[in-house]
Every structure is written in structure tokens, then in C-alpha cells.
Structure 1
Amino acid sequence: MSMLVEENAAKHRYEILVDDALAGFTAYLPRAEVLVFTHTEVDPAFQNRGVGSALMRGALDQVRDQGQRVVPQCPFMHAYIERHSEYADLVTSLT
């Protein structure tokens, strides 16, 4: 099973492809250098297979590489960051 996370800037979301099929996404609202993540969805056919975690890891790694920060309003992303403290430095608030 191959997984690829890529940004779909036109739709303001990061998408995860599993064997070339769209398996899920995490949506954001861009605010300057901050991305406000609002919603994450994984197709039921791909749930409980690590797809959601791979999506979070891929999206957060790309955010870090681009020098941006996140506001994790999405409960799934918020919980993921709480469990993976290596991403805590990316969290900020809107001022």
C-alpha cells in the first residue's frame, strides 16, 4: 500500500492518496504564514489502516518545510499533535 500526501492549494487542503486513490484530506484556511486546519476526513474504506496518521504526519512535515505554523481547530489534528509532541512547536494562535 503506497501513500502520498500532497497539498491541493486550489482546494486549500492536503490530500492523501493510497495506491493513487483519494483516501482523505485535511482542510485549512490560509492566514498569512498560518494555516487554520478546520476539518479532516478519511474515506471509510481506508479507516483503521493508519491513513489518518500518515495524512497528519505528511501535512505537518510540509507545513514545517514551508516555514508556516498551524492552528489545529480540527479535533483530529489537535489530538494528533497532542500525541506527537514533535509537532507542538508548529502550533500558534490567531492574534
Structure 2
Amino acid sequence: MTSSTREIRVEDAPARNRFEVSVDDQVVGLASYHVEGDVMTLPHTEVSPAVAGQGLGTTLVAAVLASARERHLTVLPYCSFVRHYLHEHPAEVDLVAEADRPHFGLELTSN
């Protein structure tokens, strides 16, 4: 087992309207957002190809959605990666207003 440990952080950068995921203090991904009223629009998420497949996008989106929940915001997941995350984590779909779910393909099959 190797002794190398990476420090992974997700931070809100409101001046740039995005959350950033960093590995060892180097930004390697972002999720852009716009908040208007009580709605957070999520148009784009990206992670550097150098760290693709390491779960950093998932970590980033989880933190963004946790922030939205903490701030009592609903989300509009225009980003396909965020929609994929929501499909994989149905407990988070409640962050999307019920009326908006069909637009994003997030209809729940079980009630």
C-alpha cells in the first residue's frame, strides 16, 4: 500500500459562479451555477481528463447538491452529468421541483 494521500476539496467560488474541486490545492474540475431566487441552475460540469474516472465529478456534484439542499434551493439540472448523478442517486431528485422533473427525464417510477 502506498503512503501517498491526496487532499480533495470542494469549495464554492461565488465570485466565479462555480464550485471547484481541487486535488492537493490544484483545481481539477468545476460545476458552474446561477442562483436566482430559490432556484440554482446547473448548466455545466467538467473535470480534467488527467483525473477522469477517479470519482471527482461525483464528489463535486454531491457537494453542489448538498449546498443547494442546505440553502433550501431547488435545482435545474441542465448539465447531463448532474442528471446522470440524479438518476443514480434518486434520494436527491427531490431537489428538482416536481413540475420540472419530466423536462429533465427525472420522473420517479415508484411512489
3-state secondary structure, aligned to 2:60:
helix
- Please state if 1:58 is matched with 2:63: yes
Supply the distance in 1 between the matched residues of 2:73 and 2:84 (Cα, whole angstroms): 19
Preserved contact between residue 6 and residue 59 of structure 1 (Cα < 8 Å):
no
Structure 1 unaligned spans of 5+: none
Q: Which has the larger radius of gyration?
A: 2
- 1:80 matched residue in structure 2: 85
| Equivalent residue pairs, number | 93
- 1:28 matched residue in structure 2: 33
- 1:45 matched residue in structure 2: 50
Supply the distance in 2 between the matched residues of 1:17 and 1:33 (Cα, whole angstroms): 27
- 1:6 matched residue in structure 2: 11
Structure 1 residue 38, shift from structure 2 partner = 0.3
Q: Which has the higher contact order (CA 8 A, sep 6+)?
A: 1
Question: Percent identity between the aligned chains?
Answer: 33
- 2:103 matched residue in structure 1: none
Structure 2 unaligned spans of 5+: 1-5, 101-111
Supply the distance in 2 between the matched residues of 1:6 and 1:63 (Cα, whole angstroms): 13
3-state secondary structure, aligned to 2:72:
coil
After TM superposition, the runs of 4+ consecutive aligned structure 1 residues lying more than 6 A away are none
Preserved contact between residue 42 and residue 51 of structure 1 (Cα < 8 Å):
yes
Structure 1 residue 31, shift from structure 2 partner = 1.7
Letter in 2 for 1:47: A
The TM-score, its normalising length taken from structure 1, stands at 0.92
